Structure 1
Amino acid sequence: MLTLKHFILKQQVLNLYRHAVRASKVIPDPVTRQETVAWIRSEFERNRNLTDAGLIEDRLKIARREIRNILPSSFNK
């Protein structure tokens, strides 16, 4: 059963995905940018069917950290 927490987490995941794709625009090489976006998408797709709210929160933290490491300027705003 999905709870309010699940819907909130779903929005956070979607917002992080959008943010990561937008932030990838700072990558000057188009091939590298496409590979980065493909990697981001595959990571989100891989975790799509998670239902445990605690696990989703943990994966969100990890994803934020990885995106921050790959696209450091994206979280400095």
Structure 2
Amino acid sequence: MIIMTSRQQILKLYKTMLRESQKFPSYNFKQYAVRRVHDAFKENRSLTDAKFIENQLKEAYRNLDIIKRQVIIGQLYSTEKLVIENIEKNKK
């Protein structure tokens, strides 16, 4: 069964994944997750095969669940902020 997806649904998923990635308490994990989400969507933006797009979306939803779980685990074991995080906070 192929579910037709719209551009809005894909953009919503992209924004949700970026928003969830920003919740990582660890600076390194946060930057890595944001970069991976951005790169994955950029890499797949020119896809045209509906079945392949559907498979990629299913994988993205699985990855979103992983991100959510890892954020929770990261919050359980929080550490001190890095120097760079304090510098970024002061700039805002």
- Following superposition, the deviation at residue 31 of structure 1 comes to 2.4
1:44 counterpart = 2:23:
no
Tell me what 1:24 maps to: 21
1:68 counterpart = 2:69:
no
The alignment of Structure 1 onto Structure 2 pairs a total of residues equal to 68
Where structure 1 has 5 or more consecutive residues not aligned to the other structure, the ranges are none
Q: Give me the identity figure in percent.
A: 35
Letter in 2 for 1:20: M
Find the structure with the greater CA-based Rg: 2
CA RMSD of aligned residues (A): 2.0
- Determine the C-alpha separation between the residues in 1 that align with 2:70 and 2:25: 14
- Partner deviation per Cα, 1:3-62 (whole Å, 9 max, x = no partner): xx56x1x22111111001111122001222011100111111111110112211111011
- Determine the C-alpha separation between the residues in 2 that align with 1:70 and 1:64: 10
Q: Which structure shows the higher helix fraction?
A: 1
Match 2:55 to one of 34, 58, 66: 58
- Determine the C-alpha separation between the residues in 1 that align with 2:17 and 2:64: 7
